Structure 1
Amino acid sequence: MIPFNKPYLTGKETHYIYDAVNSGKISGNGKYTQKCQTFFESNYGFKKCLLTTSCTDALEMAAILINIKEGDEVIVPSFTFVSTAIAFVRQGAKIVFADSYSDNPNFDTDKIEALITDKTKAIVPVHYAGVACDMDMIMELSAKYNLFVIEDAAQAIDSFYIGKNGVKRALGSIGHLAAFSFHETKNIISGEGGMLTINDDRFISRAEIIWEKGTNRAEFFRGEVNKYGWVDTGSSFLPSEIIAAFLWAQIENIEQIQNKRKELWNRYFENLNQEPPSNFALPTVPDYATNNGHMFYITTKSIEDRNRLIEKLKLNGFYAVFHYISLHSSPYYIEKHDGRILEKSDNFTDCLLRLPMFYELENSNIDAICKIILENA
């Protein structure tokens, strides 16, 4: 069976883990943590990066940093993973769900302004499949209504937004804060792991304190204070050096990994982009976005068509998957939702199908998958 995902190892992961362990500094914020953070700051224009134990943790840090409290409202897409919402729910926020575009799982930015009230505190755009949301429009709304923008860039490493002014900016560098994932299903990985990026100077100092259990421990080790103590809220968001060492081996090969994933994505697209169009829709990449090859998906006409394709692919040795169930219809949140019908999100819930995508996937596998789809869709 060809799996949906297979973690790619560069060969240096265990070497760097051994080096980290042998150094005697394995609890975190050591050599490899700092190498990873410096790389992202230097190469993608993030003001400050802090590795975390997960993207969920990075989002929870963001919710603490902007002082989310009971009664605040936060706008998030319904078609996203639960972490996007739960980080703010834990702080007492009311989640206001936004619907997707008809041809793109990202939330429809033309519909966001109507959701803003005097209780709205933040907008959380999710760059689904590594494809940018319309960040110019989102940042304009942020300025107009004095809202924070937290980019959920879990799937968006090494992907970019091209603004109205023609300037190309890395996703995660535009909002006030952003969260990335290095889960084993992502482009570069550390098993579990994430990163908070801080692009607003107001949050840099406090973020480091929250990261270290509410202490000013990092300042102490830099010699900026003569003792450290508990000065704020926080938690144990800092990952070990073992996780950072694994990630560093991936970072060293990010260009190679990205080039291969984009080649695979393009092969899928070229094979499935038939004339006349087939009985499914291909992913769209707006002119203002780039593609980082994170995933390849198709959208079928119905849930029955999708289920039939999943079974046909499985019978031929290929494992394809679907996600997500729209959060507004989830058992946890359905009674808290305001009752709006989010038709586009529900359509992606029923009809989006993710195809196998990983570094070691062979062109012959893609050709076989596409043949099955074209014959059975």
Structure 2
Amino acid sequence: MTTDLIPFHRPFMSGNEARYLQHALDAATLCAGGAFTARCEALLVAHTGAQRALLTHSCTNALELAAVLSGVGPGDEVILPSFTFTSTATAFALRGATPVFVDVEPATLNIDPAAAAAAITPRTRALVPVHYAGTSCDMTALQQLADQHRLWLIEDAAQAIGASYKGQPLGSMGRLGTLSFHATKNLGCGEGGALLINDPDLVERAEILHDKGTTRAQFRAGRIRQYDWVDLGLSAPPSELQAAHLLAQLEQLATVTQQRRLLWQAYQQALAPLVQAGLLQTLHVPVDCTHNGHIFGLLFADGGQRDRAQAALAAAGLQTALHYQPLHLSPAGQQLGRAHGALPHASTLPGRLLRLPMWHGVPAAVPETVARVLGDLFGGARP
């Protein structure tokens, strides 16, 4: 292997993107709601089993729709992990609700069900698990919590297309689920997302909120002669150009997921001797979870070790990346939300976590190179 830079991420391209985009241009139907949108939404329904899928501009946009549908507002609390992207919190804070940040499990970096249970108060309205790295949270425990306390269960499955829990696709188990098709995800269209509606009673209102509070979905379906403004709404539908690009990606979901899992397994195998020697940890995938190979993360004892590892890998031509700052320690998180408990695991993650190159097409030699570089770095341990 040469020392030419291997990037941390490179967006997948199926080969049909340009052709589908040209079809959209030739049809001169560039606004939202055309044939490419319908085909994408149908594929998402077929994959997830959702009652309805609605394309959005982003997963953030989908979470904002979910927040409106849930009815949260001032005085309400929403429980979510502190170790997540800002959108998980801002979608609900924009409605006036208070994000309540809880700790994550140290092995998976997913929300700790026990911490979530301890944070429930009479003001709690929703529970928002985040499936980190495309590995499912403990949905059995979280569903029981939601049922027991009559909470909205809303899955932030931004990273989880193609992953499942006990055979159920992620995003399909809460009343609502959200997906991301940002350029950094397994499949993408630059910027994009989807709202999955799993409760049939929410479909009609979701369609109204999705398209500026109007009955335009019913108009397009031929059920009414003229649409009207009837509710709150967001401008959520993406253009046909985004949908055309996304369709070319969604059609290759199985292939992309398989290839990413193979790369994940290659990393796991190459690094196993270093894990067994106690030199580092890799993220755990529980036996009842089928992941999608979105992230391969390494956890070190402290920030010094992590930084040395990143520098050594960079010298070998491998670009790596850190990840989130915990929201409960951020200025906005402290202003708009509150932490429940000390959150010892989430608090230490920014200094310990390192993500390896993980994309469709990473050269086959990379996992062994990573293992060799880290083995040489930490006391000469070699696979």
Match of 1:18 in 2: 22
Q: Does the CA-based 8 Å contact 2:101-2:340 persist in structure 1?
A: no
Q: Does the CA-based 8 Å contact 2:80-2:102 persist in structure 1?
A: yes
Point out the more displaced range, 180-189 or 332-341. 332-341
CA distance in 1, matches of 2:32, 2:277: 52
Q: How many residues align?
A: 372
Match of 1:283 in 2: 283
Match of 1:169 in 2: 168
CA distance in 1, matches of 2:95, 2:41: 27
Q: 2:145 aligns with which of 128, 141, 145?
A: 141
Match of 2:374 in 1: 373
Amino acid at match of 1:370: A
CA distance in 1, matches of 2:108, 2:376: 25
Match of 1:98 in 2: 102
Amino acid at match of 2:240: E
Match of 2:316 in 1: 316
| Aligned-pair CA distance for 1:341 | 1.5
Q: Does the CA-based 8 Å contact 2:55-2:195 persist in structure 1?
A: yes
CA distance in 2, matches of 1:327, 1:281: 23
SS at match of 2:208: helix
Match of 1:165 in 2: none
| Aligned-pair CA distance for 1:340 | 3.0
Amino acid at match of 2:13: L
| Aligned-pair CA distance for 1:317 | 1.3
For the aligned residues, what is the CA RMSD? 1.2
Amino acid at match of 2:42: T
Amino acid at match of 1:305: Q
Kindly tell me: are residues 79 and 25 of structure 1, through their superposed partners in 2, closer, same or farther at Cα, counting changes over 3 Å? Answer: same
Amino acid at match of 2:311: E
Question: Structure 1: any 5+ residue segments left out of the alignment?
Answer: 163-167
SS at match of 1:76: strand
Match of 1:212 in 2: 211
What's the CA shift string for 1:218-256, capped at 9, x where partnerless?
A: 111111111111111111100001011001111111121
Q: What pairs with 1:101-180 in structure 2 (closer than 5 Å)?
A: 101-162=105-166, 168-180=167-179
Q: Does the CA-based 8 Å contact 1:84-1:152 persist in structure 2?
A: yes
Match of 2:6 in 1: 2
SS at match of 1:273: helix
TM-score (norm 1): 0.96
Match of 2:338 in 1: 337
| Aligned-pair CA distance for 1:195 | 0.4
CA distance in 2, matches of 1:368, 1:324: 26
Q: Does the CA-based 8 Å contact 1:278-1:374 persist in structure 2?
A: no
Match of 1:35 in 2: 39
CA distance in 2, matches of 1:161, 1:135: 8
| Aligned-pair CA distance for 1:295 | 1.1
CA distance in 1, matches of 2:371, 2:235: 45
Q: What pairs with 1:347-362 in structure 2 (closer than 5 Å)?
A: 347-362=348-363
| Aligned-pair CA distance for 1:3 | 0.9
TM-score (norm 2): 0.95
Q: Does the CA-based 8 Å contact 2:102-2:339 persist in structure 1?
A: no
Q: Does the CA-based 8 Å contact 2:162-2:254 persist in structure 1?
A: no
Of all paired residues, the percent bearing the same amino acid is: 39
Match status 1:187 vs 2:186: yes
What's the CA shift string for 1:105-141, capped at 9, x where partnerless?
A: 0011122211111110000000000111111111111
Q: After TM superposition, where is structure 1 displaced by more than 6 Å over at least 4 residues in a row?
A: none
CA distance in 2, matches of 1:338, 1:350: 20
CA distance in 1, matches of 2:122, 2:139: 22
CA distance in 2, matches of 1:219, 1:143: 32
Point out the more displaced range, 334-343 or 362-371. 334-343
| Aligned-pair CA distance for 1:312 | 1.3
SS at match of 1:50: strand
Match of 2:268 in 1: 269
Question: Structure 2: any 5+ residue segments left out of the alignment?
Answer: 379-383
